């Protein structure tokens, strides 16, 4: 088991390295750098001015060297301009030339400096992740129990009225992407035309003061899309378990139906959904980006959109590292959890 | 001109429909509650040989459900039927129903002919045995026909890009202020923020989805199958390498990938053209290997067939990847492609990048599915028989394993078209790729959401259109799964 986890961590690191390099390569293509120079400097810069702007900040070095600098295995770029100002990738406002470290990369714990938010990337990402973590927590609290409940209720009597109604419900939710359900919810519950006005159409105020009124709609929007899928998986695994031999035996023995469901079927039926829930995280990440944009909740997804829209290279890299680790860690947890839940599987 | 109401002169039907719907909702709730608490219907044989059934209440509830459902459906159809004949007299719904007339005709012809010959149509014919599959297929084909006829300018009432003065944010059914000859007199679903017709934009948006989604999914399947079969069949290093690549792409959050790939700056560097040049090779490889592995024992037949098929596909491939005589045309350098007089069609850079990235995002998942299926099927006896017979590995993969994996693949194909539709909507929602005035559903939803608290009508029609298309595809996949499991 230890070796297995170790190997998985190795693969994870390799994946993260490859992915960050891809992100690095794409964001450092010349047209993207030109856009960065024009948004940071001046929209009406001439081509030569763009070159010098980029050259002074070390953007025109070979990609591999820049990548090494970002990782922290190469010394950071420094240059003293003609007017005597000292510039470089490691230079931060408030630090003198002597205090500036030679290496400043991920290995040194320095995630870089965001060109959009004018702040340390590490700080931005942790603040935004906190906001999103809070959102995700409530999404999971709403989504997982209700999805499991829907799936178990639908699967315990296949073909019954309850099964058909709940299955229809879960098919509809899987067919409704967040930007559709979000728009419909906003239209019904917040607009002055319909007049219900039960909730607020933005979640901006939820960052300081989350209440049911301003926070429920984003949570509901994300959970619904993921819920249908988990519910269908739970239903499939529940129906499979309910036709198993030992359930028939228990029934013939005279165990009551509720006891069969609660004590005999449930544990075996919940193995498959556990994996599905864990593998659902990457999808939730997508939902988070859409919903945070739709409801203007300034979390991780919102930061991604801002960073990508403005070609903020170092922030984008940090965001991709975080999301890659979220995805791979959940995969690892799902594998390990699967083994613990299902003793028939052993990892050699 | 008078503004139109929703139902016009057939408004007398509204209370009846409401009544029927209320009865339907009530009976569904009672049905669910009853299924939990009432005992199941049991037929007992009495000693004198007669049978008696218990649980009459259940039967009663089911009858109520049945009739209220029929009444609701019948009334809804009545709205549409009356609308076809009465047009704008039957309000907005009637007028829309009349506009959709070609779609109704096409749907009826398709369903009638398919049901008549359903025993001779294989899996497609069996679809008509499952009500869920039929509903799903109906929804999908509704939007497919809408897209096709909409592209032929048959359904739309106005040009989707024309802005008419005085129609900004007007509610559904508003008449045009200064009507010209030959113009449709109303904005059926109102005007959007730029005074364009919401109804026509929704119809035109269907064409964009119908064009891109199935084709992109098909390419993703070709890539996934061509790589997944050998990965599953051979295993070993090849499998490790390809699986690592697939997991690499899957670990990327889709939206981050879209934000990195689908920008005008990336289009300017020619990266999408390189990706297109690589990804679109796979269908040619697939076809070539498919035909060669089957017919290589008959070179007299194989050679002309391969020459013809490859000639056509390579030509299509070259016309696809080259635009205006170049494969890649950036400021710094160019790579020559097919000359313009041989170039069959040009794809604008914006569309190409959308297409390529959607294929790119979808193919690793297909790869994993195909790989899993191949791993499972390669242990079967008929594969061992083929190996003993001395068949080549590609023959076994493409003519023994692939046909036996078709059931799950067809089901996944339907689901994946739905997912691709959602992805296209996501791209539009973030304003990536397609031009901002494009009538595709995602962009329209994105534009409409900004004024959502005051005006609902610009955002909701495309939202419901997308919802119903994806729902239709999901139901279709469910029906297909059910029917293919019966074999």
Please check whether residues B414 and B286 belong to one and the same domain: yes
Tell me the ipTM for this assembly.
0.89
Residue B289 resides in a domain: yes
The Cα–Cα gap between B434 and A329 comes to 34
Which of B33, B257, B353, B456 has the most A C-beta neighbours within 10 Å, making it the best mutation to test the interface with A? B456
Predicted local distance difference test score (pLDDT) of residue B42:
66
Pairing of strands B43-45, A119-120: unpaired
Measure in Å the smallest separation between the Cα of B254 and chain A Cα atoms. 7
CB A155 within 8 A of CB A163: yes
Predicted local distance difference test score (pLDDT) of residue B450:
84
* Other Cβ atoms closer than 10 A to B302: 16
- Chain A, residues 119-178, CB within 8 A of chain B, namely 157, 160-162, 165, 171-172, 174-177
Q: Count the domains in chain B.
A: 2
Chain B interface includes A32 (CB < 8 A)? yes
User: How many percent of chain A have pLDDT more than 70?
Assistant: 97
How many whole angstroms from its chain centre is CA A47?
Answer: 38
Domain extent for B133 = 8-37+55-163
> What is the overall mean pLDDT for chain A?
85
Please check whether residues B121 and B219 belong to one and the same domain: no
Contacts of A161 in chain B (CB under 8 A): 31-32, 34-35
Please check whether residues B141 and B207 belong to one and the same domain: no
The Cα–Cα gap between A64 and B328 comes to 25
Predicted local distance difference test score (pLDDT) of residue B224:
94
Reference A31, options B354, B323, B332, B356; nearest CA is: B332
Please check whether residues B277 and B145 belong to one and the same domain: no
Whether the per-residue pLDDT at A348 is higher than 60: the answer is: no
- Dig out the tokens for A305 from the structure: 């959109």
Encode pLDDT of A1-36 as tens digits.
788 888 888 888 888 889 889 888 888 888 888 888
DSSP at B196: -
pTM: 0.90
CB B115 within 8 A of CB B104: no
Measure in Å the smallest separation between the Cα of B369 and chain A Cα atoms. 15
Predicted local distance difference test score (pLDDT) of residue B67:
92
CB B87 within 8 A of CB B74: no
Contacts of A176 in chain B (CB under 8 A): 467, 470-471
Mean pLDDT calculated for residue range A89-103: 72
Please check whether residues B222 and B302 belong to one and the same domain: yes
Cα distances (Å, whole numbers) of residue B212 to B21, B216, B220, B408, B445: 37, 6, 12, 23, 18
Measure in Å the smallest separation between the Cα of A23 and chain B Cα atoms. 8
Mean pLDDT calculated for residue range B78-89: 87
The Cα–Cα gap between B412 and B222 comes to 13
More confident residue, B462 or B47: B462
User: How many percent of chain B have pLDDT more than 90?
Assistant: 42
Compute the radius of gyration of chain B from its Cα atoms. 27
The Cα–Cα gap between B480 and B487 comes to 11
Please check whether residues B206 and B120 belong to one and the same domain: no
Provide the 3-class DSSP secondary structure of residue B336. Answer: strand
Residue B60 resides in a domain: yes
> What is the overall mean pLDDT for chain B?
87
**Taking CB atoms and an 8 Å cut-off, how many pairs form between chains A and B?**
147
Whether the per-residue pLDDT at B94 is higher than 60: the answer is: yes
Encode pLDDT of A257-302 as tens digits.
888 988 888 888 888 888 788 877 778 888 899 999 999 999 999 9
Residue B175 resides in a domain: no
Predicted local distance difference test score (pLDDT) of residue B54:
60
Please check whether residues B157 and B230 belong to one and the same domain: no
The Cα–Cα gap between B353 and B433 comes to 7
Contacts of B430 in chain A (CB under 8 A): 293, 305
Measure in Å the smallest separation between the Cα of A341 and chain B Cα atoms. 22
The Cα–Cα gap between B75 and B63 comes to 18
Residue B168 resides in a domain: no
The Cα–Cα gap between B212 and B210 comes to 6
Mean pLDDT calculated for residue range B214-241: 93
Residue B48 resides in a domain: no
The Cα–Cα gap between A172 and A163 comes to 14
Predicted local distance difference test score (pLDDT) of residue B347:
76
Whether the per-residue pLDDT at B74 is higher than 90: the answer is: yes
Q: Considering B143, B163, B183, which residue would you say is the last residue of a domain? A: B163
Please check whether residues B95 and B221 belong to one and the same domain: no
Q: Which residues contact B354 (CB under 8 A, 6 or more apart)?
A: B212, B262, B424, B427, B432, B433, B434
Predicted local distance difference test score (pLDDT) of residue B417:
95
Query: Residue B412 sits in a domain of what CATH number?
Result: 1.10.3720.10
Chain B interface includes A115 (CB < 8 A)? no
Q: Do B466 and A177 touch (CB under 8 A)?
A: yes
Cα distances (Å, whole numbers) of residue B3 to A13, A314, B160: 64, 55, 21
Q: What values do phi and psi take at B328, rounded to 5?
A: -130, 130
Encode pLDDT of B248-295 as tens digits.
888 888 888 888 888 888 888 888 888 888 999 999 999 999 999 988
Residue B49 resides in a domain: no
Predicted local distance difference test score (pLDDT) of residue A346:
62
Predicted local distance difference test score (pLDDT) of residue A90:
73
Q: Do B470 and A176 touch (CB under 8 A)?
A: yes
Least confident of A225-239, A258-272, B406-420: A258-272
Taking the CA of residue B13 as centre, how many other CA atoms within 13 Å lie in the half-sphere pointing to its CB? 22
Encode pLDDT of B144-192 as tens digits.
999 999 988 888 888 888 888 888 888 888 888 877 777 888 888 888 8
Please check whether residues B62 and B207 belong to one and the same domain: no
DSSP at A119: E
Residue B213 resides in a domain: yes
pLDDT-based confidence at residue B40 (cuts at 50, 70, 90): low
Please check whether residues B158 and B218 belong to one and the same domain: no
Mean pLDDT calculated for residue range B395-411: 90
pLDDT-based confidence at residue A220 (cuts at 50, 70, 90): very high
Whether the per-residue pLDDT at B430 is higher than 80: the answer is: yes
Please check whether residues B369 and B419 belong to one and the same domain: yes
User: How many percent of chain A have pLDDT more than 90?
Assistant: 22
Q: Do B456 and A184 touch (CB under 8 A)?
A: no
pLDDT-based confidence at residue B487 (cuts at 50, 70, 90): low
Mean pLDDT calculated for residue range A309-338: 84
Cα distances (Å, whole numbers) of residue B340 to B274, B311, B472: 19, 18, 40
Q: Do A165 and B32 touch (CB under 8 A)?
A: yes
Q: Considering B163, B191, B218, which residue would you say is the last residue of a domain? A: B163
More confident residue, B227 or A63: B227
Chain B interface includes A11 (CB < 8 A)? yes
Mean pLDDT calculated for residue range B425-454: 87
Number of helical H runs and strand E runs in chain A: 15, 4
Predicted local distance difference test score (pLDDT) of residue B241:
93
Residue B182 resides in a domain: no
Q: Considering B110, B135, B163, which residue would you say is the last residue of a domain? A: B163
Please check whether residues B139 and B21 belong to one and the same domain: yes
Whether the per-residue pLDDT at B39 is higher than 70: the answer is: no
């Amino acid at each position: 088991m230890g070796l297995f986890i170790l190997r998985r961590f190795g693969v994870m690191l390799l994946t993260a390295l490859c992915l960050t390099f891809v992100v690095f390569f794409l964001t450092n293509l010349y047209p993207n750098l030109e856009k960065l120079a024009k948004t940071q400097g001046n929209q009406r810069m001439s081509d030569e001015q763009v070159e010098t702007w980029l050259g002074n900040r070390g953007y025109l070095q070979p990609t591999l060297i820049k990548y090494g600098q970002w990782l922290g295995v190469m010394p950071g770029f420094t240059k003293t301009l003609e007017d005597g100002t000292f510039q470089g990738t490691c230079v931060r406002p408030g630090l003198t030339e002597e205090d500036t470290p030679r290496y400043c990369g991920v290995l040194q714990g320095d995630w870089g400096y965001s060109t959009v938010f004018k702040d340390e990337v590490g700080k931005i990402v942790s603040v935004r992740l906190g906001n999103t973590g809070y959102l995700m927590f409530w999404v999971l609290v709403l989504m997982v129990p209700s999805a499991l409940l829907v799936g178990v209720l639908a699967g315990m009597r296949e073909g019954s009225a309850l099964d058909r109604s709940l299955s229809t419900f879960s098919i509809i939710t899987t067919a409704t992407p967040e930007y559709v359900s979000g728009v419909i919810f906003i239209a019904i519950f917040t607009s002055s035309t319909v007049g219900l006005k039960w909730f607020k159409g933005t979640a901006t105020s939820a960052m300081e003061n989350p209440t049911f009124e301003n926070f429920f709609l984003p949570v509901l929007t994300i959970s619904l899309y993921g819920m249908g899928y988990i519910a269908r998986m739970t239903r499939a695994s529940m129906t499979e378990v309910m036709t198993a031999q030992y359930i028939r035996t228990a029934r013939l023995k005279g165990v009551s139906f509720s006891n069969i469901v609660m004590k005999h079927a449930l544990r075996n039926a919940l193995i498959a959904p556990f994996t599905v829930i864990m593998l659902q995280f990457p999808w939730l990440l997508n939902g988070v980006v859409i919903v945070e944009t739709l409801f203007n909740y300034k979390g991780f997804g919102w930061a991604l959109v801002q960073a990508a829209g403005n070609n903020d290279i170092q922030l984008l890299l940090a965001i991709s590292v975080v999301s890659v680790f979220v995805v791979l860690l959940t995969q690892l947890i799902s594998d390990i959890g699967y083994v613990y839940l299902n003793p028939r599987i052993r990892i050699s | 001109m008078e503004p139109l109401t929703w139902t016009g002169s057939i408004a007398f039907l509204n209370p009846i429909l409401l009544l029927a719907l209320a009865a339907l909702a009530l009976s569904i709730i009672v049905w669910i509650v009853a299924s939990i608490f009432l005992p199941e219907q049991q037929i007992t044989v009495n000693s004198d040989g007669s049978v008696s059934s218990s649980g009459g209440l259940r039967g009663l509830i089911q009858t109520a459900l049945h009739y209220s459902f029929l009444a609701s459906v019948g009334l809804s159809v009545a709205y549409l039927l009356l609308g076809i004949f009465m047009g704008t007299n039957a309000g907005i719904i009637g007028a829309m129903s009349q506009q959709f007339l070609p779609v109704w005709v096409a749907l009826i012809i398709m369903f009638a002919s398919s049901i008549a010959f359903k025993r001779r149509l294989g899996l497609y014919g069996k679809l008509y045995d499952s009500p869920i599959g039929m509903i799903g297929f109906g929804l999908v084909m509704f939007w497919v026909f809408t897209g096709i006829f909409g592209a032929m300018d048959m359904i739309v009432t106005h040009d989707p890009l024309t802005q008419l003065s005085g129609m900004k944010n007007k509610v559904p059914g508003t008449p045009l202020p200064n009507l010209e000859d030959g113009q449709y007199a109303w904005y059926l679903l109102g005007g959007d923020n730029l005074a364009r017709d919401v109804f026509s934009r929704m119809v035109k948006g269907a064409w964009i989805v119908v064009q891109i989604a199935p084709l992109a999914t098909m390419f993703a399947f070709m890539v996934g199958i061509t790589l997944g079969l050998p990965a599953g069949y051979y295993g070993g290093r090849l499998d490790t390498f390809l699986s690592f690549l697939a997991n690499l792409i899957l670990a990327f959050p889709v939206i981050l990938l879209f934000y990195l790939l689908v920008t005008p700056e990336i289009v300017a560097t020619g990266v999408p053209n390189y990706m297109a040049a690589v990804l679109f090779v796979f269908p040619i490889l697939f076809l070539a290997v498919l035909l060669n592995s089957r017919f290589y024992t008959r070179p007299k037949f194989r050679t002309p067939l391969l020459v013809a098929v490859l000639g056509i596909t390579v030509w299509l491939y070259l016309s696809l990847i080259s635009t205006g005589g170049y494969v890649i045309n950036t400021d710094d350098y160019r790579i020559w492609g097919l000359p313009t007089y041989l170039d069959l069609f040009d794809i604008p850079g914006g569309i190409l990048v959308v297409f390529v990235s959607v294929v790119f995002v979808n193919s690793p998942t297909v790869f994993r599915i195909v790989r899993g299926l191949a791993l499972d099927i390669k242990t079967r006896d008929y594969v061992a028989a083929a190996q003993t017979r001395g068949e080549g590995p590609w023959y076994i993969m493409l003519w023994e394993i692939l046909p036996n994996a078709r059931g799950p693949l067809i089901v996944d194909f339907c689901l994946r078209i739905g997912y691709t539709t959602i992805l296209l909507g996501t791209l539009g929602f973030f304003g990536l790729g397609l031009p901002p005035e494009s009538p595709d559903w995602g962009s329209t939803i994105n534009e409409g959401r900004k004024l959502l608290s005051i005006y609902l009508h610009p955002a909701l029609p495309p939202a419901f259109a997308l919802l119903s298309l994806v729902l239709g595809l999901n139901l279709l996949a469910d029906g297909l799964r059910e029917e293919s499991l019966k074999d």
